Chains A and B, each alone.
Chain A
Amino acid sequence: MSGTCDGGWYPLMLSADLELGTVAGSTVLGRDLAVWRDGEGQAHVWDDRCPHRGMRLSLGFVREGALACLYHGWRFGVDGRCVHIPAHPDLSPPGTIRAAPLPVAECHGLVWASVEEDGSLPEGDPAMDAAAWVPVRSLRIEAPWQDVARAVGMPDGHRAAALDRDVEGRVLAALLPVREGACMLHLLAAASAGVERLHDLADWGQDVRARAEERAGQVFLAGVVA
Chain B
Amino acid sequence: MSELVLHDDELDEDCYRVRLFLSLLGLEARRVAVDVVPGGAQDSPGFRAVSPAGLLPVLRIDGQMVCGAGGALLALAHGRPAWLPEVRADFARVAHWLQFAAGPLRATLLMRRACLFGGAGDGQSARRRAAVGALRIMEDHLVHRRLEGGAWFVGDGPTVADIALFPAAALCRDWGEEYSAYPALRRWVRAVRGLPGFVTMPGIPDYG
Which A residues form the contact surface with B (CB < 8 A)? 13-14, 17, 19, 22, 24-27, 58-59, 61, 70, 136-138, 140, 184, 195, 198-199, 202, 206, 219-226
Contact = CB atoms under 8 A, between A and B. Distances in A.
A61 B190 CA distance: 11
B179 A140 contact: no
A13 B147 contact: no
A47 to B, nearest CB: 15
B3 interface: no
A198 B147 contact: yes
B33 interface: no
A136 B137 contact: no
Nearest to B126: A225
**Residue among B103, B134, B143, B205 facing the most chain A CB atoms (10 A cut-off):** B143
B90 interface: no
A77 B170 CA distance: 27
A25 B147 contact: no
Nearest to B128: A220
Contacts of A137: 143, 147, 183-184
A13 to B, nearest CB: 7
A137 B187 CA distance: 12
Contacts of A70: 205, 207
Given A22-B190, A137-B184, 20 more contacts: A13-B183, A17-B186, A19-B187, A25-B178, A27-B180, A58-B180, A136-B147, A137-B183, A195-B147, A202-B143, A221-B130, A221-B133, A222-B130, A222-B137, A223-B104, A223-B133, A225-B107, A225-B110, A225-B126, A226-B110
A202 B147 contact: yes
Contacts of B144: 199, 202
A116 to B, nearest CB: 21
Contacts of B106: 224-225
Contacts of B137: 222
Interface of B: 103-104, 106-107, 110, 126-127, 129-130, 132-134, 136-137, 140, 143-144, 147-148, 178-184, 186-187, 190, 205, 207
B204 to A, nearest CB: 11
Nearest to A140: B181
Contacts of B178: 25, 27
Given A61-B207, A222-B137, A25 B180 contact: yes
Given A202-B143, A220-B136, A222-B107, A59 B205 contact: yes
A195 B178 CA distance: 29
A140 B182 contact: yes
A221 B140 CA distance: 14
**Residue among A17, A70, A222, A223 facing the most chain B CB atoms (10 A cut-off):** A222
Nearest to B183: A17
Closest 6 CB pairs of A and B: A222-B133, A140-B181, A220-B133, A25-B180, A222-B134, A17-B183
B179 A24 contact: yes
Contacts of A225: 106-107, 110, 126-127, 130
A75 to B, nearest CB: 13
Contacts of B181: 140, 184
A220 B180 contact: no
